[in-house]
Every structure is written in structure tokens, then in C-alpha cells.
């Protein structure tokens, strides 16, 4: 029988080998803090930061916002959709949107935002219900093994990730092609906005990318940048490789490293400094949290791996709770009607189904689909806040 000591020695040797091999791989960078003020491909006004924008950028963005508000004064209402991260739990938002179409009262969203898996869903939510079939296929007929595989230890010499994500990247590039980007551009010209978030791991900030504005450039480079940003927004650090976003200034090339936007926020709508109070029409904000917003009791084995896993999930749960509360308070300040959907305690996953399986995702899709048809999906208050926070409309 293998002793505990032998097992631990073997594990430590494996861990040290992983660290050594990853340290040997190429990590050459041309990073510079100046890229904080720059735009890829020299496109103008295609990104902002969640907080602390470069001098003058806040004013420019608010000026553009004021113009956007003026252009939308004649509308009966404005509808916004914010989609959270959550990995394969994105099936929850796919079910909500598909059932919403069937109900017949799904609005055309004026602004759609997305993080991580929400960045993927956001593209199709933005383009409308004709893409419901694509969403359904992605989140009910695709599982982990279709998109990812574990790397062997020696491949870490060349790669900085546990997973080989090339099938996932190929899938994104196949779906988000030139034709689809042209459709995004057409919708953008009508005054609608699609924004996704990535984490700049160099400066530790959330970058908010105006995908619709990028699409309007209509070049192969614009399509490639959109693809790269969607992949970056889903790139869980360590599991996925970080993505290099390239910049050029004065003939010199720089780069930034971007990873999953969920590192900073699980869900976002708009920076708190963007003022939408003077819109003058009804504003409806819909937030879909592809995850739980309630803690649950679960006995944890007194083992390092189990405790670490539970700690990370607890961190993400509470980050998500805080992000939703932040959006709620900002929405109320801006005079918006707040609507929230999340995976509640009544969801019963298929027995023994892996959370990365198509069986699990189909069950989650059907759960949200049915809740939406029964008109039980939306809540007007985050479950973490007491009832007295509720403001009467």
C-alpha cells in the first residue's frame, strides 16, 4: 500500500514540475501603463474603464451619453439587459431569453452588457430572438468535452493554462463571423449598444468594450478583435490562457493581458459615474445572474482541496451578491425599474449529472424556461436586501 508520505512527495514533485515547466515557457511582453489611454487598432472611443478613466475620457463619454439620451427622447421606454458570468450556468439566461420570446413581450434591448459566459450570450441577446436556436444549441447540446481538454504536464512548456481551449476558440470564431459582426454593426447604427467586460490583469481594472462600435468599422481586424475580446472575457485565469490585446504607437507595439471579466465583477451594467437620470422616459433594467445569490449549508471535508474549492465558491458567491446590490442601488439612483432573475433554491439538477454536462445544462435551461413562462423569473429586489429597501414605483 502506498504510504501517505509517498503520496505527498509524489504530489509535491508533480506540483514543482508544473511550476518549473510553466516558468520555462515564453512570457515576453511589451507592457506599458500608457496603453491605459490607448485604443486597439487606433479605433476611437471603443472602450472605457469601470472606474478611474484617463483625464478627459469621463467627460467625453458623458457627452456621448447625453447625445444618446437626446436621440432616444421620443421612445416610449428604454430597456437594458445585464448578463453575468457563470460558465455553463449560462444555460439559465438562454432559457430565460428563449421563453421570453415565446411569451411575446421580449423587448428590443437598447443596451446589453455581458461578462464571461454572459459575454457570449450577450451577442445573441443583442441581435434578437432569431438567434434563440443558436443559444439553445450552445447551452443544451454542448458540454465540456466538446470545447475543452486537459493539457498534459509537458505542454505547459508552451502554454500558460491547464486547459486546451482551442475547440472553444474555434467555436467562437465560427459563430462570431463577418456576417454576424455586420448585423451587430447594423443594430449599432440604430443607436443600440453591446458592451462586454474583460479584466486587464496588468492594471487590475475592468475594461468595458463597446462591441457595437467596433463592429461598425467593418474590417476583418474589427471582427478578429471582437472574437478575441469575447474569448478574453471567458478566460478563467490559470484554466484558460490570458489573451494579449495589441496596441501600436509611433511604430512601436505594446500589449495588455486580459482575462475573465468576472475577476473584477460577476455582472455590470454601467459605471456609476455615467449619468442616465435625464433620459425622460421609462427605463427598465433586467439583470440575469447565472448563478445563486443565496448561501447554502454543505459539510466540507477537512482537506486542503475541498476547503480551497469551497472558499473560492464562497468568494464568488459573495462577489456576485455585492455586484448585484451595486447595480440595484445605482439603478434606483438613476430612476430605473430593477428586475432580477437568478438560480434559486428550487432548482433541482438532474441526479448525478456533472455541472459541465449537456444533461445539467438542459435541466437548467428547462428550469429557467418554465419559470419565465410561469412569470415567476423576475424579482424587484436582490434576495440579500431586506424588504424595506424596496422603493415603491
Q: Which residues contact 310 (CB under 8 A, 6 or more apart)?
A: 298, 300
Chain segment 163-187, per-residue pLDDT in tens: 889 999 999 999 999 999 999 999 9
DSSP secondary structure, 257-307, as one string: EEEEGGGT-S---S-TTS--TT--SEEEEEEEESS--S-------SSHHHH
Residue 153 has pLDDT above 60, yes or no: yes
Confidence of residue 8 (pLDDT cuts 50, 70, 90): very low
Chain segment 274-301, per-residue pLDDT in tens: 888 888 889 999 999 999 999 989 899 9
Residue 235 has pLDDT above 80, yes or no: yes
Residue 155 has pLDDT above 80, yes or no: no
Domain ranges (residues) in the chain: 29-384
Neighbours of 301 (CB within 10 A): 10
Chain segment 239-271, per-residue pLDDT in tens: 889 999 998 877 888 999 999 999 999 999 988
Q: What is the DSSP letter of 342?
A: E
Residue 308 has pLDDT above 50, yes or no: yes
User: Cβ(81)–Cβ(263) under 8 Å?
Assistant: no
Q: Which positions are catalytic?
A: 116, 260
E strand or H helix at 194, and its extent? Answer: strand 193-200
Within 106-255, residue ranges assigned H as helices are 117-127, 132-140, 144-147, 166-175, 178-188, 211-215, 220-233
CA proximity to 311, closest of 323, 324, 300, 325: 300
Whole-number Å distance between alpha carbons of 44 and 352: 50
The mean predicted confidence, pLDDT, of the chain is 87
Mean pLDDT of 351-372: 92
pTM above 0.85, yes or no: yes
Distances (CA, A) of 326 to 57, 184, 269, 309, 338: 23, 29, 10, 26, 12
Whole-number Å distance between alpha carbons of 30 and 32: 7
CA proximity to 61, closest of 276, 215, 216: 276
Q: 208 has which bridge partners?
A: 48, 197
SS3 call for 2: coil
**What backbone phi and psi angles, to 5 degrees, belong to 246?**
-95, 145
Whole-number Å distance between alpha carbons of 256 and 254: 7
CA proximity to 368, closest of 345, 347, 340: 347
SS3 call for 359: helix
Fold of 29-384: Cytosolic phospholipase A2 catalytic domain (3.40.1090)
User: Cβ(136)–Cβ(98) under 8 Å?
Assistant: yes
Highest mean pLDDT among 6-20, 121-135, 267-281: 121-135
Long-range contact set of residues 202-205: C-beta below 8 Å, sequence gap at least 24: 202/31, 202/33, 202/256, 202/257, 203/33, 203/36, 204/264, 205/49, 205/50, 205/51, 205/52, 205/264
Amino acid at each position: 500500500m502506498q504510504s501517505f508520505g509517498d503520496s505527498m512527495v509524489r504530489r509535491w514533485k508533480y506540483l514543482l514540475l508544473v511550476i518549473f515547466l510553466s516558468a520555462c515557457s515564453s512570457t515576453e511582453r511589451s507592457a506599458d501603463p500608457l496603453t491605459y489611454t490607448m485604443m486597439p487598432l487606433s479605433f476611437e472611443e471603443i472602450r472605457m474603464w469601470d472606474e478611474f478613466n484617463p483625464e478627459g475620457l469621463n467627460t467625453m463619454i458623458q457627452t456621448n451619453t447625453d447625445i444618446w439620451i437626446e436621440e432616444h427622447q421620443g421612445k416610449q421606454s428604454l430597456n437594458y439587459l445585464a448578463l453575468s458570468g457563470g460558465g455553463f450556468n449560462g444555460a439559465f439566461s438562454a432559457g430565460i431569453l428563449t421563453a421570453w420570446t415565446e411569451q411575446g413581450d421580449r423587448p428590443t434591448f437598447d443596451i446589453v452588457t455581458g461578462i464571461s459566459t454572459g459575454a457570449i450570450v450577450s451577442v445573441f441577446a443583442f441581435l434578437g430572438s432569431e438567434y434563440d436556436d443558436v443559444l439553445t444549441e450552445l447551452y443544451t447540446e454542448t458540454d465540456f468535452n466538446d470545447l475543452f481538454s486537459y493539457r498534459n504536464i509537458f505542454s505547459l512548456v508552451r502554454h500558460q493554462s491547464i486547459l486546451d481551449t482551442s475547440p472553444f476558440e474555434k467555436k467562437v470564431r465560427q459563430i462570431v463571423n463577418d456576417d454576424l459582426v455586420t448585423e451587430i454593426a447594423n443594430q449599432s447604427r440604430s443607436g443600440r449598444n453591446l458592451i462586454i467586460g474583460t479584466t486587464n490583469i496588468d492594471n487590475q481594472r475592468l475594461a468595458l468594450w463597446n462591441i457595437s462600435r467596433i463592429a461598425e468599422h467593418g474590417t476583418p481586424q474589427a471582427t478578429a478583435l471582437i472574437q478575441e475580446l469575447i474569448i478574453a472575457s471567458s478566460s478563467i485565469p490559470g484554466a484558460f490562457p490570458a489573451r494579449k490585446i495589441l496596441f501600436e504607437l509611433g511604430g512601436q507595439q505594446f500589449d495588455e493581458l486580459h482575462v475573465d471579466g468576472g475577476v473584477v465583477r460577476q455582472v455590470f451594467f454601467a459605471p456609476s459615474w455615467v449619468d442616465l437620470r435625464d433620459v425622460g422616459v421609462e427605463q427598465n433594467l433586467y439583470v440575469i445572474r447565472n448563478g445563486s445569490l443565496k448561501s447554502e449549508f454543505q459539510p466540507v471535508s477537512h482537506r486542503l482541496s475541498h476547503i480551497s474549492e469551497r472558499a473560492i465558491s464562497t468568494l464568488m458567491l459573495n462577489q456576485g451578491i455585492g455586484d448585484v446590490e451595486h447595480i440595484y442601488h445605482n439603478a434606483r439612483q438613476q430612476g430605473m425599474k430593477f428586475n432580477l432573475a437568478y438560480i434559486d433554491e428550487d432548482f433541482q439538477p438532474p441526479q448525478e449529472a456533472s455541472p459541465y454536462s449537456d444533461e445539467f445544462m438542459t435541466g437548467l435551461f428547462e428550469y429557467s424556461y418554465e419559470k419565465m413562462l410561469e412569470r415567476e423569473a423576475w424579482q424587484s429586489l436582490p434576495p440579500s436586501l431586506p424588504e424595506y429597501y424596496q422603493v415603491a414605483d
